[in-house]
Structure 1
Amino acid sequence: MARRVWRWWLLLLMFALVMTRALLEEDLAQEEDEARPFMGMDAPPIGHAVPFAEVWAHSYCRALEVLVEVSREYPGAFPFVVRPACVPLFRCGGCCSDEGLHCAPTATYNASMQILTIRPFHKPEMQEMSFLQHGACECRTRRNGQRRGRNRGQGKGRRKQRGRGCSSCSGSRCLPETGRRACRRERPRR
């Protein structure tokens, strides 16, 4: 009787080892696939070049899924911890055929997502938050003077003028010091 039990345990142990090895090999194959750059459903084998048409199609202006930090979408709104810290959103990205064009959204919509908020000495809570997503994108002309990644607000704010000194100085290289009326040039050196 004891011999039969040992045989069953040995068979069970061998089966567990075979299954563990198969799972490990599957995980290794999956890690190798993830390590390769993903260019679409028909990615070429390692060592082969991606065809130009596929590169062009994947690099042109379109809505792409990107991870965006919640704190960037709602700056200063959370004096506590949020999880996940990043959310997947569709945003316009890619290149246009001309440097005078930029990839801009033509259709946007709001998507609600559940976010876990963790406050000190409070129970964690689930909150629904709304995030702006880009539905469609196209290449549009840039406005004059607008650089990539720089947004100018419209308003009648005072523009910082370079090269002008403070009111007590007429020097063109004199810069007013923050919060003071004296110039840097007038301050004694130590």
Structure 2
Amino acid sequence: MEKLLKNGEVYFNTVEYFRKNDVGDYLRGDFAEGLKYSQLINFRSPSLEEFGIKFRNAKINGDTDISHLFSMYMVTSEFWEGKIHFDKRILEFGDYALIINPREFLEKVMKASKYEIKYGPAVYYKTPPIPISLNSFSKREEFKYQNEFRFVINSSSKKPIIIKIGDISDIATMIPTETLLKIEFLKN
């Protein structure tokens, strides 16, 4: 958190990292990360089947293994409309949260990057059945409480990528995460 706030280090890890680090960590890992629909009949994935999930027509998309992700929690208009509230599971993200001006943050990331970056909200899908087409923005519905906004870089690097955007303390502030549970959004 401090590295992001004070040094502006935006840390992108690989999709493969998030898929392989799901063992017991349902916060940062997702064993279905990078899954893509395929016409392969009776495809088997022992790592997925150990969770009791069997896909007849699915495969891991090798192209997404070289994608790199940076994810943020996103406050949407649904908060302002009173339709959703922060889920208490966000406390598991850590003791502190950064409140960031999204437009200025996005501009800084895009300006500092030497990579092509795609960005947008995660799209949550129900399992099963597997949708016909998944991509780096697809995420299982059980993670919907994370309200994720993703930045995606496609790179041949198997190592994390760090983009340095400089100190963002002028556009961000750090608060205790538990404070988010007490926030009330006022309708205009």
Higher RCO, Cα 8 Å, sep 6+: 2
- Is TM-score (shorter-chain normalized) higher than 0.5? no
Shorter-chain TM-score range: under 0.3
Structure ID, larger Rg: 1
The two structures have a TM-score, normalised by structure 2, of 0.22
The two structures have a TM-score, normalised by structure 1, of 0.22
